[in-house]
Amino acid sequence: MKTGRNIITRLLPKTGQITEYVAGDDGTHEAGWWKGRLNSNNLTRWIQKTIGGDDIVLDRATGLMWAADGNALGCANSIPQEWLPAILYATGLTFAGFDDWRLPNVSELQSIVNYGQNAPVIEQPPFSNTVSDSYWSSTTYHLGTAYAWRCSFGQGGISAGQKTVDSLYIRCVRKGL
């Protein structure tokens, strides 16, 4: 069995941990995007663009296009809302010249967490004005359909939120590359 930094985890983003705290942890391998290369040799993951006055981020690891600015339309102007209104907002959004925006699923949302950062656990830039709080995913919680998965950009964890009670932030996404 071969060990070391040659782990290839195609298209799975790195966690952001670059410090090795104990041999064999994530800092040892720095596994993830870009095809197993080390952070120091990594190609740029995020591409920032402004399209029609709207700021977006292209994720070269996943091929997704994200709304960049937490205070702009692609993030509902940083106004928390319940789950169904969030779904309807995202699917009705025309932003950066595209009308196929949506709420990300829980895996997509967690893919932009950077566990190597202090709160908010997301890279700023390119994701400016991100609140250190929970954001809705489009994924319904499997143990109860009155709940949906949410991702905390305060700590990076996921948990279930009540769809008709909790008002959370959103960050819209679409296929991009």
Q: Give the pLDDT confidence of 43-61 residue by residue, as tens digits.
A: 678 999 999 999 999 998 8
Query: Is 1 domain-assigned?
Result: no
Query: Is 120 domain-assigned?
Result: yes
Query: Is 63 domain-assigned?
Result: no
Res. 88: pLDDT tops 90: yes
Taking alpha carbons only, the member of 52, 124, 45, 146 closest to residue 171 is 124
Res. 7: pLDDT tops 60: no
pTM recorded for the entire structure: 0.82
Res. 25: pLDDT tops 80: no
Query: Is 109 domain-assigned?
Result: yes
Q: Are 106 and 137 in contact (CB under 8 A)?
A: yes
Query: Is 61 domain-assigned?
Result: no
Residues 6+ apart with CB under 8 A from 62: 11, 13, 108, 111
Q: Give the pLDDT confidence of 106-155 residue by residue, as tens digits.
A: 999 999 999 888 999 999 999 999 999 999 999 999 999 999 999 999 99
Q: What is the chain's mean pLDDT, rounded?
A: 86
